[in-house]
């Protein structure tokens, strides 16, 4: 039985990945989920699998290097899928320190723990071990509005403390591959959306606010472009890189779904009106009047667009979910899990939301 160590597995992408892996492999794998359960880590995301005998949750912080070493000593880890990261740009602008600690020093701890557990006396590494570092397209910077794509060879040009911290962690992984022959891959993905996403991110924020008749805050002119990827497609890509990717390679995972932010919001409003029954009182207030333009984010990158040519050619991956279909799936999930949304939008999240948007 292959054992996977998933960091940040109680978060949005991590929990979707764990669900995907159990759906695909069932009892043929074991998953150790390590998560510090910060504001975006939520064990409710995994309540349907928490009693599985081949699943173990460990509450721990990747910044605790000693604890990470202990986990590798206790379990015979075959694969690491490293999601754990601070990931919201606005938070990184307000508090860069925690992004450096988690994303850079935490990644260093994970590399050191895996290296210590997997390295042979002669400096080679045990057969079948692999470390997959999950990163972002934001490390590449910004593209012109009129064309071009991010490729694996695109020079790094991060513009926010978040993207700078992820770029730093990418370079750490690259350095371990080059210096030690450490068995690893890096994936850089476009913006994800889907079930279990914490509602500070654009799509769940807009769904939640629209359902409550709250304003829909849009940065600047709303024409910033992102490439969107349904989270299950990302999980599939990570698994395929683990299984078929060439060691030491970086793979971009993108959805070929470029959309302006304002276009996303119009699509959400349209889908909400389509999905809500006519007798639902919320339907009356879901309209474009809720859209409110706010002061633009500092250092706001204009356009991201990622080219997944390499992963398609070498690994055989391509996305299955068209954008509007994915939005409908996401909205349906939030309709069916309104208690989940209520639980995560109380307390600290509300205070954060007010702090970020009340004066804009």
Task: List the chain pLDDT tens, one digit each, 360 residues.
Answer: 999 999 999 999 999 999 999 999 999 999 999 999 887 788 889 999 999 999 999 999 999 999 999 999 999 999 999 999 998 888 899 999 999 999 999 999 999 999 999 999 999 999 999 999 999 999 999 988 777 899 999 999 999 999 999 999 999 999 999 999 999 999 999 999 999 998 878 899 999 999 999 999 999 999 988 888 999 999 999 999 999 999 999 999 998 888 999 999 999 999 999 999 999 999 989 999 999 999 888 888 888 889 999 999 999 999 999 988 999 999 999 888 888 888 887 766 556 556 755 665
Catalytic residue at 86?
A: no
Beta bridge partners of 204: none
Average confidence score pLDDT of the chain = 92
Pairing of strands 258-260, 225-230: antiparallel
Give the pTM: 0.91
Catalytic residue at 288?
A: no
Q: With beta carbons less than 8 A apart as the criterion, state whether 14 and 36 touch.
A: no
pLDDT given for residue 200 in this prediction = 79
pLDDT given for residue 195 in this prediction = 95
pLDDT given for residue 291 in this prediction = 95
pLDDT given for residue 24 in this prediction = 98
From the candidates 4, 162, 176, 304, which is the catalytic residue? 162
3-state secondary structure of 219: strand
What is the per-residue DSSP string for 70-118? HHHHHS---EEEE------HHHHHH-HHHHIIIIIIHHHHHHHHHHHHH
pLDDT given for residue 296 in this prediction = 84
Q: What are the DSSP E strand ranges found in 110-179?
A: 130-136
How far apart CA 31 and CA 56 sit, in angstroms, is 6
pLDDT given for residue 38 in this prediction = 84
Contacts of 183 (CB under 8 A, 6+ apart): 118, 125, 129, 130, 131, 177, 247, 248
How far apart CA 261 and CA 285 sit, in angstroms, is 21
pLDDT given for residue 91 in this prediction = 87
Half-sphere exposure of 26 (CA within 13 A, CB side): 1
Contacts of 72 (CB under 8 A, 6+ apart): 5, 113, 114, 116, 117
Quick one: which of 241, 7, 204, 234 has its CA closest to 103? Answer: 7
Catalytic residue at 70?
A: no
Q: With beta carbons less than 8 A apart as the criterion, state whether 15 and 9 touch.
A: yes
pLDDT given for residue 299 in this prediction = 80
> CB atoms < 10 A from the CB of 244, how many?
12
pLDDT given for residue 237 in this prediction = 98
Beta bridge partners of 316: none
Q: With beta carbons less than 8 A apart as the criterion, state whether 275 and 331 touch.
A: yes
pLDDT given for residue 79 in this prediction = 98
pLDDT given for residue 258 in this prediction = 87
Domains and CATH numbers, the chain: 2-197+228-258+301-321 (3.40.50.720)
pLDDT given for residue 87 in this prediction = 86
From the candidates 61, 138, 233, 239, which is the catalytic residue? 138
Q: With beta carbons less than 8 A apart as the criterion, state whether 168 and 314 touch.
A: no
From the candidates 35, 61, 137, 301, which is the catalytic residue? 137
Residue 242: φ, ψ to 5°: -60, -40
Residue 337: φ, ψ to 5°: -135, 45
């Amino acid at each position: 039985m292959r054992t996977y160590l998933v960091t940040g597995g109680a978060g949005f992408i991590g929990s979707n990945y764990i669900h995907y892996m159990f759906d695909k492999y069932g009892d043929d794998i074991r998953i150790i989920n390590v998560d510090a359960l910060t504001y975006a880590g939520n064990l409710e995301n995994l309540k349907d699998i928490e009693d599985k005998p081949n699943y173990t949750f460990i509450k721990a912080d990747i910044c605790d290097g000693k604890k990470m070493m202990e986990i590798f000593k206790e379990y015979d880890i075959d694969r690491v899928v490293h999601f754990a990261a601070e990931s919201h740009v606005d938070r990184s602008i307000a508090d860069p320190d925690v992004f450096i600690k988690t994303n850079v020093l935490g990644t260093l701890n994970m590399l050191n723990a895996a290296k210590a557990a997997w390295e042979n006396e002669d400096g080679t590494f045990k057969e079948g071990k692999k470390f997959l570092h999950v990163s972002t397209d934001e490390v590449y910077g910004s593209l012109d509005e009129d064309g071009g794509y991010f490729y694996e060879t695109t020079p790094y040009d991060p513009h926010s403390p978040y993207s700078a911290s992820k770029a730093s962690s990418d370079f750490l992984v690259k350095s371990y591959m080059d210096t030690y022959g450490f068995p690893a891959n890096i994936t850089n993905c476009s913006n994800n959306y889907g079930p279990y996403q914490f509602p500070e991110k654009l799509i769940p924020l807009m769904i939640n606010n629209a359902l409550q008749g709250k304003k829909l805050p849009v940065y600047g002119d709303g024409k910033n472009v992102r490439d969107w990827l349904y989270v299950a497609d990302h999980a599939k890509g990570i698994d395929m890189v683990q299984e078929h990717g060439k060691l030491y390679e970086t793979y971009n995972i993108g959805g070929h779904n470029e959309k302006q932010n304002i276009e996303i919001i119009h699509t959400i409003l349209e889908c909400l009106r389509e999905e809500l029954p006519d007798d639902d009182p919320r339907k009356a207030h879901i309209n474009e009047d809720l859209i409110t333009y706010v002061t633009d984010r500092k250092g706001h990158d204009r356009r991201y667009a990622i080219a997944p040519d390499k992963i398609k050619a070498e690994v055989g991956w391509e996305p299955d979910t068209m954008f509007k279909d994915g939005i409908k799936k996401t909205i349906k999930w939030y309709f069916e899990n309104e208690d989940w949304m209520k639980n995560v939008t109380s307390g600290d999240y509300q205070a954060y939301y007010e702090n970020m948007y009340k004066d804009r």
